C-alpha cells in the first residue's frame, strides 16, 4: 500500500483510488484462492449540499463503496476523506463526530429496523448513544423528526411490523436525521418499495436535503431513480467508474456505451413514442477474473481493436463530464 494521500479539504467527501478486494477461501485450510475485485481504483467526491447518484448493475461494487464510506468495511487500498480528514486515521473523538455526521439509509426497511424496539425508540436510540439532548428536549426532538418525515408522533409507541414498507423507510429516514448529519449514504433506499411509493420517498429525501442542506450519496441500479435527486451522476461497471457527469448532461449527452445502454432500458411514459433500445450482450463478467483491457469490451457493440488489450482511464471531455472509453480520445 502506498503513502496515504492528503486531501485539499475542498469537498465534503473525497474518495481517492479506493480498492476493496474480498478474499476467496478454499479447502480445509481456508487457503486464499483468489480475490473478488469488488471496487478497483475508484475516485469520487461529493460537495456540501450535493447529491451524487451512483448507478450500476447489481454486483458492480456501488454498495461496497457506500459501506467503505460508512466504515462498515475496511478498504484494501486508497483513502477516504471527510471534511479534509482521512477517516482511517481519526482518533476516538474524531470517529465519534464522524459517526454523527455520516449516516445511512438502507435498501430494506424490513430488516434495517429492530423488530423488538418501538419505532419511537428506534429514532431515539442514536440520541441516547451519542448523549445528545435529555428528558423533554429529547422527546420533543423525536416527535419533531416524526413530523418531518410525514408520520404522526402518536405512532411512536408502535412496532415496525405495524407499518407499511414506505412508512418503515420514513422511520429509517427519521433515524438517519436524528443526529443532524451532513452526509447520508442512501443505499438503494427505494428499490424494495412499490413504484407508487418510490416517488413519495424520493420527494421526501429531496425536501429534507433542501431544508437541512444535506449531501447524499444516492446508490441505485436504475438511472431513472436517480434522475430527479442527483446533481451529478457516476456510472459504475465491474468495480470501476466509467462515466461521471452533471445530471442534465448525462441524460442529454451520454457518452459511454454502457451508460447509453442503461438509459435506453428506461421505459418512456408515452408508448406511441418510439425509442431505440440498446440490448447488452451476455452477462456481467465475474469480478474474480475481470476481462483484460476495457472491462466492458465483451459486451460493447462499439468495441474496437485494442479495447481488449488497453485499459481506458477516466478523462474529462469538458468541465462537467468525464468518461473512460477509447471512443473519446
Contacts with ligand SF4 by CB under 6 A lie at: 256-257, 294, 296-297, 300, 302-304, 307, 312, 325-327
Measured from the CB of residue 266, what is the shortest distance to ligand SF4 in angstroms? Answer: 20
The values of phi and psi at residue 298, to 5°, are -65, -20
Measured from the CB of residue 257, what is the shortest distance to ligand SF4 in angstroms? Answer: 5
Measured from the CB of residue 106, what is the shortest distance to ligand SF4 in angstroms? Answer: 32
SS3 string of 188-223? CCCCCCCHHHHHHHHHHHHHHHHHHCCEEEEEECCH
Distance between CA atoms of 51 and 30, rounded to whole angstroms? 41
Our CB check for ligand SF4 shows the closer of 78 and 312 to be 312
C-alpha cell of 309? 488489450
Our CB check for ligand SF4 shows the closer of 68 and 242 to be 242
Our CB check for ligand SF4 shows the closer of 94 and 298 to be 298
Measured from the CB of residue 294, what is the shortest distance to ligand SF4 in angstroms? Answer: 3
Distance between CA atoms of 193 and 213, rounded to whole angstroms? 25
Measured from the CB of residue 261, what is the shortest distance to ligand SF4 in angstroms? Answer: 10
Of 16, 22, 20, nearest to 3 by C-alpha is: 16
Distance between CA atoms of 104 and 60, rounded to whole angstroms? 20
Measured from the CB of residue 297, what is the shortest distance to ligand SF4 in angstroms? Answer: 4
Instruction: Concatenate the DSSP letters of all residues of 265-277 into one string.
Output: TSPPS-TTS--PP
Write b or e for each residue in 2-25: b if 16 or more Cβ atoms lie within 10 A of its Cβ, otherwise e: eeeeebeeebbbbbbebbbbbeee
Amino acid at each position: 500500500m502506498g503513502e496515504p494521500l492528503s486531501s485539499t479539504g475542498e469537498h465534503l467527501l473525497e474518495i481517492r483510488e479506493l480498492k476493496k478486494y474480498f478474499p476467496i477461501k478454499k479447502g480445509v485450510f481456508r487457503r486464499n484462492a483468489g480475490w473478488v475485485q469488488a471496487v478497483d481504483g475508484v475516485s469520487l467526491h461529493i460537495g456540501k449540499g450535493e447529491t451524487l447518484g451512483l448507478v450500476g448493475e447489481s454486483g458492480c461494487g456501488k454498495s461496497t463503496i457506500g459501506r467503505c464510506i460508512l466504515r462498515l468495511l475496511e478498504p484494501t487500498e486508497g483513502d477516504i476523506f471527510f471534511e479534509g480528514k482521512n477517516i482511517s486515521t481519526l482518533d476516538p473523538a474524531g470517529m465519534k463526530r464522524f459517526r454523527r455526521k455520516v449516516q445511512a439509509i438502507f435498501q430494506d426497511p424490513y430488516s434495517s429496523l429492530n423488530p423488538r424496539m418501538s419505532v419511537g425508540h428506534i429514532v431515539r436510540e442514536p440520541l441516547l448513544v451519542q448523549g445528545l439532548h435529555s428528558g423533554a428536549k429529547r422527546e420533543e426532538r423525536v416527535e419533531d423528526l416524526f413530523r418531518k418525515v410525514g408520520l404522526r408522533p402518536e405512532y411512536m409507541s408502535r412496532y415496525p411490523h405495524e407499518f407499511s414498507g414506505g412508512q418503515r423507510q420514513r422511520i429509517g429516514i427519521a433515524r438517519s436525521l436524528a443526529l443532524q448529519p451532513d452526509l447520508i449514504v442512501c443505499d438503494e433506499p427505494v428499490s424494495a418499495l412499490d413504484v407508487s411509493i418510490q416517488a413519495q420517498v424520493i420527494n421526501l429525501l429531496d425536501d429534507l436535503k433542501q431544508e437541512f442542506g444535506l449531501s447524499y450519496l444516492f446508490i441505485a441500479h436504475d438511472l431513472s431513480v436517480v434522475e430527479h435527486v442527483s446533481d451529478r451522476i457516476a456510472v459504475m461497471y465491474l468495480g470501476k467508474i466509467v462515466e461521471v457527469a452533471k445530471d442534465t448532461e448525462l441524460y442529454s449527452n451520454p457518452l459511454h456505451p454502457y451508460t447509453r445502454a442503461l438509459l435506453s432500458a428506461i421505459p418512456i411514459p408515452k408508448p406511441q413514442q418510439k425509442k431505440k433500445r440498446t440490448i447488452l450482450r451476455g452477462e456481467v463478467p465475474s469480478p474474480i477474473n475481470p476481462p483484460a483491457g476495457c472491462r466492458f469490451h465483451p459486451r460493447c457493440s462499439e468495441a474496437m481493436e485494442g479495447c481488449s488489450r488497453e485499459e481506458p482511464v477516466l478523462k474529462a471531455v469538458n468541465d462537467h463530464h468525464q468518461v473512460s472509453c477509447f471512443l473519446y480520445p
